[in-house]
Amino acid sequence: MSLYAVILTYNEPRHIQACIESLRFADQIVVFDSFSTDDTVRLAQESGVEVTQRKFDDYAGQRNAALKYVEGRVDWVLFVDADERVTPELAGEVRLAIQNPAFVAWRIPRLNYILGKLTKGAGWYPDYQTRLLRVGATHYDPDRKVHELVVLDGAEGTLHEHFVHLNYETIQQFHMKQKRYSAYDARILHQQGIHPKPQNFVLQPIRQFWWRFVTLQGFHDGWHGFRLSMLMAWYEFRKYIYLRQLWQGNE
């Protein structure tokens, strides 16, 4: 069985070459770029991998386009983000997994380093990602623009080895992404016809904090887990602010 590793990129000069080096076990590496404005493409080409470009619409659309791009050339695709690394142990397990005819996809656990610290509480572990896909038997739900959902024509297995994810390297990056996610979630609620209630602005952030810090054991990460749980509670509050603005006609 043949395997392509596909990296979606947009302005990833700090990560692209290290990511590529961790994928040398694949039969082919394809950088699927969204017209980066920096050195990402040049650095990928210097690493000797295939590069193609497509204008970004959303993550589901980009991943489906990548699957279409390699269709007919390969049996399996491993999607890897530029800020992720594949360990030698995971590489070996992937190679074994694609020989198993019982599954059309495999989900992979992920170790998240947030602000430089390995984070196993507050919902960031095991953080399973369905990224190893049999071409022709899988695609992404086009209605899920963010936090993509894979649609499978068959069974899914689970690997034991981990991606390493260098996630949220700065607090600015954390805020930038969470603003986008909370605005996206607010639009979903708006499309469902849900109006914010006064108690949502208080109870939902409290519930979010409790869920992150207590239920999902963010307390095991100490101050780091407390801060992350508080930040996620804040963005739960912001989600309802955005939702109220949408109903007021303010995008």
In the chain the domains, ranked by start, together with CATH numbers, are 3-167 (3.90.550.10), 171-247 (no CATH)
Beta-sheet strands, E only, within 39-149: 50-53, 76-81, 84-86, 105-108, 110-114, 117-119, 129-134, 138-140
Residue 163 has pLDDT above 90, yes or no: yes
Mean pLDDT, residues 90-108 taken together: 98
For residues 146 and 85, which has the higher predicted lDDT (pLDDT)? 85
Mean pLDDT, residues 83-110 taken together: 98
Residue 145 has pLDDT above 80, yes or no: no
Mean pLDDT, residues 37-50 taken together: 97
Mean pLDDT, residues 6-14 taken together: 97
Kindly report, residue by residue over 117-131, the tens digit of the pLDDT. Answer: 999 999 999 999 999
pLDDT at 251: 62
CA distance 218 to 209: 9
pLDDT at 148: 85
Kindly report, residue by residue over 210-241, the tens digit of the pLDDT. Answer: 999 999 999 999 999 999 999 999 999 999 99
CB 51 within 8 A of CB 28: no
pLDDT at 176: 95
- Structure tokens belonging to residue 198: 């006064």
At 146, is the pLDDT very low, low, confident or very high (cuts 50, 70, 90)? Answer: confident
Helical H runs in the chain?
A: 16-21, 40-46, 59-70, 88-97, 171-191, 200-210, 222-247
Quick one: residue 11, left, alpha or beta (phi over 0 = left, psi -120 to 50 = alpha)?
A: left
The mean of the pLDDT values for the chain is 96
